Chain A
């Protein structure tokens, strides 16, 4: 597959993630339904193809490819740039996914796309492509709630039947449990998402955004030892991160740890082990690594705490972590300890599934499609605000 040229951004780095197969490649026949999922609510565009056999055997992933728009260190991604990125990639990715899945257009049953929540411009870019394909090929159009996509994919991959879901990403932070055909939100952030808090602190420290800021914070945090005092904000089952971000940003400013210069020094020091050991003895001031470590320890403790409250409240022993921040190993570890102490277990997925992808949209869309749901063209506009509990979960009976 050839990569499209995108010009205009000097540090346009492209991370092409190849697809993978789940289970065996199955022969094409009419005994199954096929959905294309198109996701583009933030800086990733993902196209996935799912097959649902009609005999009731487990659904299969036929293709899952994704391309990420990465902004330079110290900057976030601008909606207009992300939208341009998505527009440039969408056709290639759809073609690539169809080729990889060995599926012809005729076999496809429905086109599923993210209708919200997310950033407006990127959502629109992908929605336009989905509408176009639906009209061009004469396929049913299914608008999918992004959060529900995450939940359904997590349930499928992990086999968790009725878990308390912690959905944590750059745009969302919610604790969700299912009850009478709704995914109900038990707790959520009162201001910014946990991933947004991490991303923005990464900008303060000029940490690389490749592959994503949270990953690099996690790596830096592994060298951290000292816990600095940060606000810890849990209100009932809700959390708040903006005060923590303000506190740690000002701490970084006071200690002179932010900015490009320090980021470069850090990188140099990492390559020179001897110097590191000398530096450590010199004083007790917190380092950049200590700040990352403290930020992680604090915000993840808050997340685990509200998840535990929700588990206690609904009497569930399963936890499912979804969303980009869900790939953080420290969060998974902390959640594991909490669940173990409650006699339960944690279900988490790896980057392929918990970071935004197309198959989750295909999966949730297919479930809706099978329950008779359709999105008429006139209702196919996307929205930045789309609550998880607005979706009628018709495909679940329990």
Chain B
């Protein structure tokens, strides 16, 4: 298999010193660590390179739409005091590609220092899978309580986001971070060595939109619930805590949760081939 090489960076990032460091290749774009104005100020750079598999017109339309949408949502959330990275700069016209042509768009954001919730839960679950039998009942209870509390905080953060009038659109545990606290007491105290401390920060607003509709909010919860179910089986039974944290976060939460239960989105998901769809000619 050929070694992967990321596409060339758009100007001006192709000539900065030190050069941006590639952190992850997400589905949508590449995340780099770079600096803003001065090398002492770290910043996160999200580059959405053009997707060669897409039709060029569709590609431009989606990339442009999404980077502007993302920046607008982040700017609004920062104003509303929701814990998200602040916007520092962006280019939606994508003039920095090869020979200054279309090279995708980029967005520069505040640097968040801390782990991704997905990694935290994975580490915790891996440790528990191996060593849970060595814990006594009280310790086990304490460990579970820590994860429950984390899920509750996530629910609360999500509530804050919705209260501000934004829905995330792609909530997974990879898109939640814990801002490193000034002093970490938990990692040492727990036998697992995993800390769940720190403020929950929501990241990656690539599919976010401004909406106050219960359905959109419920989809956020539903997607997160399923992401946790599929990636963190041991934490899944504690989903109730997340819902609880969410319920207490703002007044609209109750009707959103009701919507979730009424399942506008398929909670017991669809079997798409129903009879009417199969034989009724459309229109």
Q: Which residues of A come within 8 Å of B, CB atoms?
A: 42, 74-79, 116-120, 170-173, 177, 179-180, 184-186, 188-193, 196, 200-201, 203-204, 227, 229, 232, 234-238, 245, 249, 253, 258, 297-298, 301, 304-305, 308-309, 311-314, 317, 333-335, 337-338, 340-345, 384-387
- B15 at the binding interface (Cβ < 8 Å): no
Q: Which of B57, B223, B271 has the most CB of A within 10 A?
A: B271
Contact of A236 with B171 at beta-carbon distance under 8 Å, contacts A180-B233, A193-B273, A200-B281 already known? yes
Instruction: Identify the closest chain B residue to A120 (Cβ).
Output: B275
Docked-complex contact B53 and A171, CB < 8 angstroms: no
In the complex the two chains form, what is the Cα distance from A170 to B54 in whole Å? 23
Interface size on B, residues (CB 8 A): 46
B81 interfacial by beta-carbon distance below 8 Å: no
Chain A residue nearest to B118 in the complex (CB): A313
Contact for A193 among B62, B272, B280, CB less than 8 A? B272
Q: Determine whether B3 belongs to the interface, using a CB cutoff of 8 Å to chain A.
A: yes
**14 pairs across A/B with beta carbons < 8 Å?**
A75-B279, A117-B273, A173-B272, A180-B233, A190-B270, A193-B273, A237-B170, A249-B282, A301-B53, A313-B227, A337-B53, A338-B51, A343-B4, A345-B1
* Residues in A whose Cβ lies below 8 Å from that of B231: 179, 313-314
B49, closest chain A residue (CB)? A341
B71 contacts which chain A residues (CB < 8 A)? none
Cα distance A173–B58 in the bound complex, in angstroms: 22
The answer to whether A119 and B283 touch (CB under 8 A), given A236-B207, A312-B27, is no
Shortest Cβ gap from A259 to chain B (Å)? 11
How far, in Å, is A312 (CB) from chain B's closest CB? 4
- Complex contact B273–A184 (CB within 8 A): no
Which listed residue (B28, B53, B270) contacts A189, Cβ 8 A? B270
Residue of A whose beta carbon sits closest to that of B2 = A343
CB distance from B138 to the nearest CB of A (A): 28
CB distance from A146 to the nearest CB of B (A): 10
A375 to chain B, nearest CB (A): 20
> Measured between alpha carbons, how far is A366 from B53 in the docked complex, in Å?
38
B105: shortest Cβ distance to chain A, in Å? 16
In the bound complex, residues from chain B placing their C-beta under 8 Å from that of A180 are 233
Q: Apart from A249-B283, A297-B54, what 18 extra A-B contacts exist at CB < 8 Å?
A: A75-B279, A76-B280, A117-B271, A117-B273, A119-B275, A119-B278, A171-B273, A172-B272, A179-B233, A186-B230, A204-B283, A227-B57, A258-B283, A313-B174, A334-B53, A341-B7, A343-B4, A385-B271
Interface class of chain B by DSSP: loop
Q: Which residues of B contact A298 (CB under 8 A)?
A: 58
The answer to whether A79 and B55 touch (CB under 8 A), given A234-B207, A249-B283, is no
Closest 9 CB pairs of A and B: A343-B4, A171-B273, A385-B271, A309-B27, A337-B53, A312-B27, A334-B53, A236-B223, A200-B282
Q: How many angstroms between the C-alpha atoms of A339 and B172 in the bound complex?
A: 22
Contact of B266 among A76, A177, A190 (CB under 8 A): A190
Q: Is the CB of B275 within 8 A of A79?
A: yes
Check if B3 sits within 8 Å of A343, measured CB to CB: yes
Instruction: Report the bound CA distance from A331 to B282 in whole Å.
Output: 24
Q: How far is the CA of A204 from the CA of B170 in the complex (A)?
A: 34
Alpha-carbon distance A227/B60, docked complex (angstroms): 13
On chain B, the residues within 8 Å of A179 by CB distance are: 230-231, 233
Q: In the assembled complex, which residues on chain B have CB atoms less than 8 Å from the CB atom of A173?
A: 272
Does B219 sit within 8 A of A, measured CB to CB?
A: yes
Known contacts A190-B266, A196-B273, A384-B271; A342 and B4 CB within 8 A of each other: yes
Chain B interfacial positions (CB closer than 8 Å to A): 1-4, 7, 25-28, 51-55, 57-58, 61-62, 169-172, 174, 207, 219, 223, 227, 230-231, 233, 265-266, 269-275, 277-283
Contacts of B281 in A (CB 8 A): 74-76, 200, 203
Residues of A within 8 A of B169 (CB): 235-236
A119 and B68 CA atoms in complex are apart in Å by 44
Tell me which of A177, A312, A386 contacts B26 (CB under 8 A).
A312
Q: How far is the CB of A319 from chain B (nearest CB, A)?
A: 12
Among A232, A236, A313, A337, residue most surrounded by chain B Cβ atoms (within 10 Å): A236
Evaluate contact between A227 and B272: CB separation under 8 angstroms. no
Nearest-CB distance from B62 to chain A (Å)?
7
A76 & B273 in contact (Cβ 8 Å cutoff): no
Q: Which residues of B contact A79 (CB under 8 A)?
A: 275, 278-279
B25 touches A235 (CB 8 A): no
CB of A361 to closest CB in B, whole Å? 17
Cα(A184)–Cα(B130), bound, Å: 23
Is there an interface contact between B230 and A184, defined as CB atoms closer than 8 Å?
yes
CB distance from B39 to the nearest CB of A (A): 29
Least Cβ distance of B238 to chain A in Å?
18
A120 to B227, CA, bound (A): 31
- Which one of B1, B27, B273 lies within 8 Å of A343 (CB-CB)? B1
Contact partner of A344 among B1, B62, B233, B272, CB < 8 A? B1
Bound complex: CA A186 to CA B25 (Å): 19
Q: By the criterion CB–CB under 8 Å, are B273 and A42 in contact?
A: yes
B279 touches A189 (CB 8 A): no
Question: A333 CA to B139 CA in the complex, in Å?
Answer: 53
- B229: nearest chain-A partner, CB-CB: A184
A370 to B158, CA, bound (A): 46
- State in angstroms the CA–CA spacing of A154 and B278 once bound together: 26
Contact partner, A192, options B3, B52, B219, B272, Cβ 8 Å: B272
CB atoms of A204 and B223 under 8 A apart: no
| Residue among B52, B174, B230 having the largest count of chain A Cβ atoms under 10 Å | B230
Which B residues are CB-close (under 8 A) to A334? 53-54
